[in-house]
Amino acid sequence: MDDLDKIKQNYLNSISTASSLDDLEQIRIKGLGKKGEVTSLMKAIGSMEESERRVKAPKLNFLKTEIIEEIEKKKLLITEENINKRISVEWLDVSRPSRPSQMGKIHPISQVTEEVVEIFSNLGFSIAEGPQIESDWYNFDALNIPPEHPARQEFDTFYVDSNPDSGSPPHVLRTHTSPVQIRHMEKENGVPCRIIVPGKVFRSDYDQTHTPMFNQLEGLAIDKDLTMSHLKWTLEEFCRAFFEVEDLELRFRSSHFPFTEPSAEVDIRCSWEDGILKLGQGESWLEILGSGMVHPKVLTACNVDSNCYQGFAFGMGIDRLAMLKYGIPDLRSFFEGDVRWLDHYGFDPLNIPSTNSGLR
């Protein structure tokens, strides 16, 4: 018995003085390896007398377990010490720039178009589209702008070269999105309708505030009882949602467009303080769009009975809306593809405009 106690004490002593995992392994082999001291003792159990075995066997088992436990305990201790040593010499310069991010940008015009479409689709408007090369008829005549109307001169129209033998007037690059009104209404189930038409339009004008191509949004609502008061509500709802100013005030001013009558230009209340535009407050007004009740002649041009149907139309510049809402200064820079500009004024692709999770 004394032997076993002695053996145990020996092992516990050497375990506690072991300084590495290798030492521990040596101790384990010495005691519990195939030819180890304790293993040999246990092998001898088989040849023992029954009475001796009854006493010795449990003690030997106990001894073995105790050694294993002690080794494991010490193992953990040494491993932790090793980690501590390693940590103390490990150091990372976390101030270094991280890996470059790979997110691109959405052009402000695309973003704002989606915002606008989102708002109007909540008001029941669907999207209609039409061609950018347009016939004289759709771009002008059908919209109550006959060939010699002085208003034609104000459009700065681009003409497309065409077959000179065709006999018809040359096609134009559409000067506004309004021809899509005609294309929509003349369809079989064209009216009643509520449509919006976002798209590119062209005018031969190029200076500080004009580019030969820009983007418009057309709106058209035709039904039996729509009045100019509905127009006002629609535009109010839109402007408030778009500019995110709850009580944004609109001013309707009489104006003239050949394709609407009565016509109105619409301003929003704003202020200019130190060159900074604030919407919704102040004593100034900012013109943002043109609108009116669709002219009976336009309805007639689409074979719509103007005694039965009436409604409103409006048009606004998407680029201008983007400039106003996001404070983008120069229209011309929209179309230059300057990476620095796109990175600054562009939008994160994950910002999908939606009325319930935010428009920007």
Task: Please report whether residue 200 would count as binding other proteins according to CB under 8 A.
Answer: yes
Residue 171 contacts residue 188 (beta carbons within 8 Å): no
Residue 10 vs 132, nearer CB to other proteins: 132
Q: Which of 150, 167, 275, 329 binds other proteins (CB under 8 A)?
A: 150
Task: Please report whether residue 230 would count as binding other proteins according to CB under 8 A.
Answer: yes
Distance CA 157, CA 175 (A): 6
| Residues between 13 and 72 with contacts to other proteins, criterion CB under 8 A | none
Enter the tokens of residue 321.
Answer: 């809306």
Task: Please report whether residue 114 would count as binding other proteins according to CB under 8 A.
Answer: yes
260 torsion bin: left (phi>0), alpha (psi -120 to 50), beta (else): beta
Distance of closest approach, residue 138 Cβ to other proteins, in angstroms? 7
Distance of closest approach, residue 33 Cβ to other proteins, in angstroms? 36
Task: Please report whether residue 121 would count as binding other proteins according to CB under 8 A.
Answer: yes
Distance of closest approach, residue 358 Cβ to other proteins, in angstroms? 16
CA distances from 89 to 10, 83, 93, 299 (A): 36, 10, 13, 83
Q: With contacts defined by CB under 8 A, name the span among 13-21, 77-85, 210-218, 323-331 that binds other proteins.
A: 210-218
Strand partners, 312: 221, 293
Q: Which of 2, 50, 90, 225 binds other proteins (CB under 8 A)?
A: 225
Task: Please report whether residue 280 would count as binding other proteins according to CB under 8 A.
Answer: no
Contacts with other proteins by CB under 8 A: the residue count is: 94
Task: Please report whether residue 249 would count as binding other proteins according to CB under 8 A.
Answer: no
Distance CA 24, CA 289 (A): 85
What does the DSSP 8-state code read for residue 101?
Answer: P
Q: With contacts defined by CB under 8 A, name the span among 7-15, 75-83, 320-328, 331-339 that binds other proteins.
A: 331-339
Task: Please report whether residue 352 would count as binding other proteins according to CB under 8 A.
Answer: yes
| Residues between 294 and 313 with contacts to other proteins, criterion CB under 8 A | 295-296, 310
Residue 285 contacts residue 275 (beta carbons within 8 Å): no
Distance of closest approach, residue 83 Cβ to other proteins, in angstroms? 27
Distance CA 342, CA 197 (A): 25
Distance CA 2, CA 10 (A): 12
| Residues between 124 and 143 with contacts to other proteins, criterion CB under 8 A | 124-127, 129, 131-135, 138
Helix 108-122 vs helix 318-326: crossing angle, to nearest 10: 100
Binding mask 252-271 for other proteins (x = CB under 8 A): xxxxx----xxxxx------
Distance CA 152, CA 147 (A): 7
Distance of closest approach, residue 326 Cβ to other proteins, in angstroms? 15
97 preceded by a cis bond (ω within 30 of 0)? no
Distance of closest approach, residue 110 Cβ to other proteins, in angstroms? 6
DSSP string covering 307-352, please? TT-EEEEEEEEHHHHHHHHHT---GGGGGS--HHHHHHH-B-TT--
